[in-house]
Amino acid sequence: MKYFEGIRRKFFGETEPKTEAGGQDDLVDTAPLPANILQTVEGDLRSGGYYAGGAQVTGRQRKENEDSLLVLTTSEIGEDSMPEFGLFCVADGAGGHGHGELASALALRTVARYLIKEQFLQQLDPLGRSSTLSVKEIMHRAFELADSTVNTGAKGGLTTLTTVLLHGNHLTIGHVGDTRAYLIHGGRIQLATRDHSVPWRLVEIGQLTPEEARKHPQRNLLWNAVGKGENLFVDVFTYPVPSGGYLLLCSDGLWSEILDSDLPQFTEKFIDPYVTCEAMVQQADFSSGSDNITAVLVAFSAEYGKDRQYPSSEYFPGPGS
C-alpha cells in the first residue's frame, strides 16, 4: 500500500525505498518554497467524494517564505470501507533568522503526526481498537505537543496553525492565530475560525467592524500563537461537511487582500481546487505581495456521505454558528 508506506516514511522515520525516476512522494512536503515561485499541490483521490489542492507564493515583496501547508487525502473503496479521513493544515511562522519557517514546519508536522497516529492508524487497526479520547481532546493534545516542540526546537519562533481533520461527515478544526478556515456553499461564505489578534478582539466586543480589522495597522499583533510556551489557547470547532461545497484554509496574506465576499467567485469560476487556489494566491500577490500567501481548498461532491452511515460526532459550533 504505497500511500501508507509514504506516511510511515514521513512521520515515523522509516527509510524510503529506491524508486524509478519520476516517482513522487505520497505526502506533500511542508518545507518552505523558493521566493516568487508559485507552487501548487493537487490531491488525486476523487473516489471518496472530495478533492483537495493547494497553492503558495512567497510574495513579490518578500524574500523568505515562513508559511507551510499540508494536504493529506485518503480513500478506501470496498464493502466494509472505513470512513473518509483527510488532514489539511496551514501555518504562518514568525521570528526572524529562519525561526519562523522552522516554527511553522515543526508545528504542522507535529500536529499531523499525532493526529495520524491517534485517528487514522486507529482506523487501520485490524482488531478494531480505537482511542479512548474524544476528537476534541485529541486535537487539543496535538496542539499542546506542537507548542512544546516549537518552543524547544525553534527558539524565538512562533507560528499560527489552522488544522482541519476530516473524519466521516464531520470537519473538526483546531486553530491558533490568524490563519483562517472558511466554509463555502451555494455562493455563501462562513468564517469558521476567529482571529487571535488584537483587532479581532475589538471586533468581538463591538469596537471595530471586520472590514476595519482587516486593514488595521495592528492586524498582525497576535495575543495567541503556537510556541509561546505557556497559556496556549486552542479553539476547537466541529462542523458537518458542506456537501456540494468547499472548505478553504488560508494565511493572512490571502484574506487581507481578498474580501471574504469575493472568495466564492473563485470557486464558481474554476473547477479544480488546485487551479482555484492558484488563482487566489496570484490575485493576492498581484494586489500587494507584501506577505507570504497560502491557500488550501477542499471540494466536496453533492453526494458526499449519502451512501454511508457514519457514527455520530461531538459538535462544537464555531463563530457565527
How far the first Cα of the chain sits from its last, in Å, is 40
Residue 132 inside a domain? The answer is yes
Q: 11 lies in a domain? A: no
Counted residue by residue, the chain has a size of: 321
Q: What is the pLDDT of residues 64-100, one digit of tens each?
A: 889 999 999 886 665 555 668 899 999 999 976 678 9
Q: Is residue 2 a part of any domain in this protein? A: no
- pLDDT band for 54, please (50, 70, 90 cuts): very high
Question: Is residue 320 situated within a structural domain?
Answer: no
CA distance 263 to 261: 6
Task: List pLDDT tens digits, range 186-244.
Answer: 989 999 999 999 999 999 999 998 888 888 888 889 999 999 888 899 999 999 999 99
Residue of higher predicted confidence among 146 and 42: 146
- Tell me the pLDDT of the chain averaged across its residues: 81
How far, in Å, CA of 69 to CA of 11, rounded?
A: 15
Least confident of 10-14, 64-68, 124-128, 189-193: 10-14
Task: For residues 262 and 147, give the distance between their C-alpha atoms in angstroms, rounded to a whole number.
Answer: 34
Percent of the residues in the chain that have a pLDDT greater than 90, as a whole number: 55
- 81 or 268, higher pLDDT: 268
Per-residue DSSP letter, 96: S
Residue with cell 482506523: 123
Q: What is the DSSP string of 261-310?
A: GGHHHHHHH-SSHHHHHHHHHHHHHHHT--S-EEEEEEEE-TTTTTTS-P
Note whether residue 22 is domain-resident.
no
Residue type, 308: R
**Amino acid 121: pLDDT:** 80
pTM: 0.81
pLDDT band at 305; cut points 50, 70, 90: low
Cα→Cα distances 298→167, 285, 312, 320, Å: 14, 21, 22, 21
Q: Is residue 317 part of a domain?
A: no
Structural domain count, the chain? 1
Taking the CA atoms of residue 238, residue 240, residue 242 and residue 248 in that order, the dihedral angle to the nearest 10 degrees is 10
C-alpha Rg value of the chain to the nearest Å:
19
Q: Residue 261: which domain range?
A: 31-300
Q: Is 313 within the bounds of a domain?
A: no
Of the listed ranges 8-12, 167-171, 197-201, the least confidently predicted one is 8-12
Contact 24, 2 (CB under 8 A): no
Lowest pLDDT segment from 2-11, 111-120, 173-182? 2-11
* CATH assignment of the domain containing 175: 3.60.40.10
Which whole number is the average pLDDT over 249-273?
Answer: 94
Q: Higher-confidence residue: 42 or 238?
A: 238
More confident residue, 121 or 175: 175
pLDDT of residue 197: 94
- Quote the CA–CA distance of 211 and 209 in Å, as a whole number: 5
What is the pLDDT, as a whole number, of residue 247? 97
Mean pLDDT computed over 2-26: 39
Residue 27 pLDDT > 90, yes or no?
Answer: no
Strands (E), the chain: 39-42, 50-57, 67-73, 85-94, 158-167, 170-176, 180-185, 188-191, 235-240, 246-250, 293-300
In a domain, 12, yes or no: no
Q: What pLDDT shows up at residue 4?
A: 33
Tens digits of residue pLDDT in 275-288: 999 999 999 999 98
